[in-house]
A = this chain, B = another copy of it.
Amino acid sequence: MDIAIAVYPEYTSLDAMGPYQVLQHLPDATVSFVAAERGLLGDDNGALQIQIDRSFDETPSPDIIVVPGGTITRLIAHPGHPLVEWIRAVHPTTTWTTSVCTGSLVLGAAGLLDGLDATTHWSAYETLAGFGATPTEQRVVRQGKIMTAAGVSSGIDMALTLVGEIAGADVAEAIQLAIEYDPQPPFDSGSPTKARPEILELVQAISAEGEAALRARYAEQA
């Protein structure tokens, strides 16, 4: 089973690394990170640089794809972007096509979510709806062979759900135990409905600033 985690400059690391930790334990599976080009590729913080040894062109028929998110998805989720075109090309022959966080915007741009329920980071429901999807607040949404997950850390839940579908509950439970996934968050602020209003406003303000800075940077480069 060939599992390809599709990354791109400025993706959000945990979106990719959560599923990577879980899916690597699937029996008979090989996981790799793939991108438009070989070489070093940085995340949205920049401190994590990972080596890509396999390009999209070298990955024409993966069984499972995982598309992480990142603020940058708002800029790259359009036809013609290499990631979008690769997803469009490989999706017909995948057994599972999955996303974490705003990775679903990229699936949407590839035309995969029109008319389907899907989820994304809580800040991106409207953008997701723009691709014809019906955003839901569920943590993991399955529609046929497409599975979308909510923000960042939800990729762990999504990957365990996927393992259960592919290999059964025993294997998923074994992986959960191996990674001691018995979450005990010290605060209860993990969703917009649980967070205090002032915290929600703070995060919205910081996110808007971050997105504006990113857009300005890319406008300069263009």
Given A13-B20, A13-B21, A140-B186, A151–B173 Cβ distance below 8 Å? no
CB distance from A22 to the nearest CB of B (A): 9
Given A176-B190, A177-B189, A180-B121, A47–B20 Cβ distance below 8 Å? yes
The answer to whether A161 and B182 have CB atoms under 8 Å apart is: no
The answer to whether A200 and B181 have CB atoms under 8 Å apart is: no
* A179 CB–B CB distance under 8 Å: yes
Cα–Cα, bound, A45→B50 (Å):
14
Given A157-B185, A187-B169, A206-B174, A180–B50 Cβ distance below 8 Å? no
Q: Is the interface of A mostly helix, strand, loop or mixed?
A: mixed
The answer to whether B199 and A181 have CB atoms under 8 Å apart is: no
The answer to whether B160 and A177 have CB atoms under 8 Å apart is: no
The answer to whether B51 and A153 have CB atoms under 8 Å apart is: no
* A17 CB–B CB distance under 8 Å: yes
The answer to whether B189 and A176 have CB atoms under 8 Å apart is: yes
Binary per-residue interface labels of chain A (13-54) against chain B in the complex, 1 for a CB within 8 Å, 0 otherwise: 110011011001000001111000000100001011111010
The answer to whether A33 and B48 have CB atoms under 8 Å apart is: yes
Cα–Cα, bound, A201→B122 (Å):
39
Given A32-B47, A140-B186, A183-B185, A177–B206 Cβ distance below 8 Å? no
* A84 CB–B CB distance under 8 Å: no
Chain B, residue nearest A192 (CB) = B177
Q: From B40, B173, B203, give the contact of A177 (CB < 8 A).
A: B203
A20, A45, A139, A187 interface centre (most CB from chain B within 10 Å):
A187
A49, A178, A189 interface centre (most CB from chain B within 10 Å):
A178
What are 25 of the A-B contact pairs (CB < 8 Å)?
A: A20-B45, A33-B48, A49-B50, A49-B53, A50-B51, A51-B51, A150-B180, A151-B178, A152-B180, A153-B179, A153-B183, A154-B182, A156-B183, A157-B183, A157-B186, A160-B186, A161-B186, A164-B186, A170-B202, A174-B189, A176-B190, A177-B191, A177-B203, A180-B190, A181-B190
